[in-house]
Structure 1
Amino acid sequence: MAKAGSWPQSGVVVADGGGTSAVWGECKGSGSKPYLAAAHLDGDGGPAYKCSCPSRKFPCKHVLALLSLWSQDTVAEREDRPEWVTTWLSGRVARQERASGAAAAAPVDPDRAAATLRAREKTVAAGLEELRLWLHDQVDGGLAEVPKLGYGHWDRMAKRLVDAKAGGAASLVTQLPQNGGADRWPDRLLERLGMLHLLTDAYLAGEDGDPRFRAVLRSRVGIPTRSEEVLASGERVRDTWRVLGHRDAITPDRMRGRRQWLHGASTGRLALSLTFAPPTQTPDSAFRPGTEFEGELAFHPDGRRAVRAGQGTEGPALPPPGGGIDQALDSFAEALAEDPWLEAWPVVLENAVPARAEGWHLADPTGASLPLNQGELWRLLAATGGRPTTIAAEWSPGTGLSPMTLWDADGKAVAL
């Protein structure tokens, strides 16, 4: 489809300050009507896409073909454009203005926010009391009958937790190994039941203890902190933040989530930017891999998640400082002590090479290694050619190392 002949109509929309604002086109399809495709390139939160085709992939092949033609300078600037393009772009601008206006016009009331939090915590506590009894029942009854229970057994508990506004705990219940059959499923089930019990007991223990750990508990059971509250009262940290990379995942409620990890050059602090989008859309990216952002981040009460606070300067970044396998595992252990339910953590490995030994691993110069997520193997080999390189990856004991970004011999970042 990336051929000029497939696009009888196409054009580039020029921004007020010059440069491309959007690219649009009408692609000939199998039907009588063309597919209407467009990409908005300078909107807040990164590019946005539109196409009238029924594809569930986003961006679809028509948008990708249109962008390919544009990147080859084969789509010309046009002052005139179809009404559907004008309507779509105007709607996007209006929504962005409404969102920014609502954020500016709705200052956070600390007293009201505190009262809302107390009311929700009371409701959540009642749901977790019921969850604790349910967990005891599962262990008392034994695990041998689990494969016969069916999904309804687990879904009923999850729905009660949703009603109690403990959506995070409900998601953990739905992720329990439910039907057996897989290798060592009783071990995994018992481990996850134990982690749920730990979360329940820790939350119901009350307000005593470290405030940051209490914030971790709120987050894990499903009590959110709005970005407006974080920007109003969260800890502000100014630094040069190197973007280590991102990972995408589908949440239990079928939303698309994106985790972006950043590293403070001066403070050495790690920060997590979380964004979500409906299944047919791509989550916004506040930062680009391989770049650095000099400015402020506002941190959530858990001390890990952060949102961008105000403007800053961006530019290409040097490779981040890293280490070997031992340093990576030490970093993960420290993070796990603060959040025992942590499933993934960013690590930076220097002079890492793919190695094969009962499966593929990433090895450091000492010979120590960690297993590699097999789904990432071929892209990594294609990008490195098997040569040592600096790699930023997510480490998860369950899935292994999932590379996010690597830096080649010239210090150029390659997003994986």
Structure 2
Amino acid sequence: MTEQEVRWTAEQVLALAPDDASRKAGGRLGEAGPWSQIGGSASGSLWGSCKGSGSRPYRTVVDLTGPAYKCSCPSRKFPCKHALGLLLLWAAEGVGDPAAPPDWAQEWLTGRSEKAARPSAGPAGPADEEGARRRSERRAARVGAGVVELERRLGDLLHEGLAGQERAGYAGWEETAARMVDAQAPGLAARVRELGTIPGCGPGWPARMLEEFALLHLLNKAWLGVSGLPERLVATTRSRVGLPVSAEGEVVRDRWLVLAQYDSVSPDGRLTTRRIWLRGQESGRPALVLDFGPPGRPPGLALPIGLAWEAQARFRPGSAGLRVDLGERLTAPIPGAGAPAGIGTGAALEAYGAALREDPWLESWPVVLGPVVPIPGEAVWQLADWEGTSALPVPLPAAGSRSRAGLWQLAALSGGGPVTVFGEVGHRGFTPLTAWQPGSAEPIPLV
């Protein structure tokens, strides 16, 4: 089966959009009207010229094996609305029979092929091990000083009480975060910034703040006693503090099914983080790919939900064995074979508990639940086992958010019957990300 024969659905295409504006604009370009020079090859590439506001049409090329995109438009979004429109046109079988690409498309495609075939750089020259050791010791000393200062700050706040935090504002937390950056502990700085967003964010905020205090205190103590920790927990502690960990990790070759993809923005709005959840179809192993976008630009990596690629994934030390660096895709994408096998809600909590032994700061663990039925409620939703009495609460997103609309979409998919749901289980419950109806192989994104 070639890439051209694996026809994506419109939902899989639109799930690649970097934001709602691109999703809507791309949808309007998914018809043949503004397009010319449309074509596609049997090796998995698409191209076309789209009439825009300028005198010249925008030239758009898509490599489905990446997927990767090239467009002459000035947009800094990937994929841009023209790439989304071309993919939607192809999904609706509007591209036609395979053909040879025009020169402007072939040039970019050839460049990608040559780059992929280029041998990787050989090992670096002899390293200054003594210099590296001294630099590591100096940074560890700075981090240690920052941790001691942060512990003092947390102790003072607990002594004074949390009642005044709503009036204190965010400035004090930003100052503390800046001190952690100076101490070369960006992971601590990120957790401090998140702490500053909690006061006044809704009912029960003092309890949530105390929870975060406890986790941050635990991380501080782990760093101060890192020399006595097991090796795997040392890697996790270093990663959570924000220090680089060894790039050497287990390499797993598998056919990786894309289960979900969603973006989140840092509290200061400076960084967009894209989380792409994968599952090895042979190993059954979950994997998390992270990609980042600087201010004003979304992350560049996007993978269609429900498709699978064969690739090598290198698992990073720490992070409960979840985070991977995904290598070059080795085969054409193929549709997943329906919904993955699900587990019950009790087993999901057990899996999360086991993962906490590897990483006590882990907020959630990826699981596939099924068969389950969603139970809507005014204040709390639940996902209950189809056969049994066990259930998991579902945290309600902010009113008006797309995630809340996804909950009602899940209820509509269920219609009171069982569904299979992929999501993240944590101490606050289960967050659904993707669902499958019984007998359907098509995944439905919920975020």
- The alignment's TM-score, normalised by the length of structure 1, stands at 0.79
Q: Quick one: distance in 1 between partners of 2:201 and 2:377? A: 27
Q: Which residue does the alignment assign to 2:263?
A: 248
After superposition, the C-alpha distances for 1:151-170 in whole angstroms (9 at most, x for unaligned) are 22111111111122211110
Instruction: Please point out which of 335, 344, 357 is paired with 1:324.
Output: 344
Instruction: Please point out which of 380, 392, 395 is paired with 2:410.
Output: 380
CA contact (8 A) 1:237 1:297 kept: yes
Alpha-carbon offset, residue 283 of structure 1: 4.0
* Structure 1: tracts of 5 or more residues without a match: none
Q: Measured at CA, do residues 37 and 136 of structure 1 come closer, stay the same or move farther in structure 2, by a change above 3 Å? A: farther
1:121 lines up with 2:140 in the alignment: yes
After superposition, the C-alpha distances for 1:352-410 in whole angstroms (9 at most, x for unaligned) are 12222444322112132223353421332454444312222112444x43333334433
Q: Measured at CA, do residues 345 and 26 of structure 1 come closer, stay the same or move farther in structure 2, by a change above 3 Å? A: same
Instruction: Please point out which of 383, 394, 404 is paired with 2:424.
Output: 394
Instruction: Please point out which of 271, 274, 283 is paired with 2:290.
Output: 274
Number of equivalent positions: 395
CA contact (8 A) 1:58 1:282 kept: yes
CA contact (8 A) 1:38 1:51 kept: yes
Q: Quick one: distance in 2 between partners of 1:152 and 1:284? A: 34
Alpha-carbon offset, residue 175 of structure 1: 0.7
The root-mean-square deviation of aligned C-alpha atoms, in Å, is: 3.6
CA contact (8 A) 2:272 2:299 kept: no
Instruction: Please point out which of 202, 205, 222 is paired with 1:202.
Output: 222
CA contact (8 A) 2:376 2:411 kept: no
Q: Which residue does the alignment assign to 2:275?
A: 258
Secondary structure of the corresponding residue to residue 229 of structure 2: coil
Alpha-carbon offset, residue 292 of structure 1: 5.5
Secondary structure of the corresponding residue to residue 4 of structure 1: coil
Secondary structure of the corresponding residue to residue 272 of structure 1: strand
- Equivalence map 1:156-195=2 (5 Å): 156-178=175-197, 179-180=199-200, 182-195=202-215
Higher relative contact order (CA 8 A, sep 6+): 2
1:50 lines up with 2:63 in the alignment: no
Q: Which residue does the alignment assign to 2:441?
A: 412
Q: Quick one: distance in 2 between partners of 1:107 and 1:390? A: 48
Instruction: Please point out which of 152, 171, 183 is paired with 1:133.
Output: 152
Q: Measured at CA, do residues 321 and 107 of structure 1 come closer, stay the same or move farther in structure 2, by a change above 3 Å? A: farther
CA contact (8 A) 1:241 1:262 kept: yes
Amino acid at match of 2:122: A
1:24 lines up with 2:48 in the alignment: yes
Q: Measured at CA, do residues 244 and 301 of structure 1 come closer, stay the same or move farther in structure 2, by a change above 3 Å? A: same
Q: Quick one: distance in 1 between partners of 2:125 and 2:375? A: 52
Q: Measured at CA, do residues 362 and 156 of structure 1 come closer, stay the same or move farther in structure 2, by a change above 3 Å? A: same
Alpha-carbon offset, residue 217 of structure 1: 0.8
Alpha-carbon offset, residue 264 of structure 1: 6.7
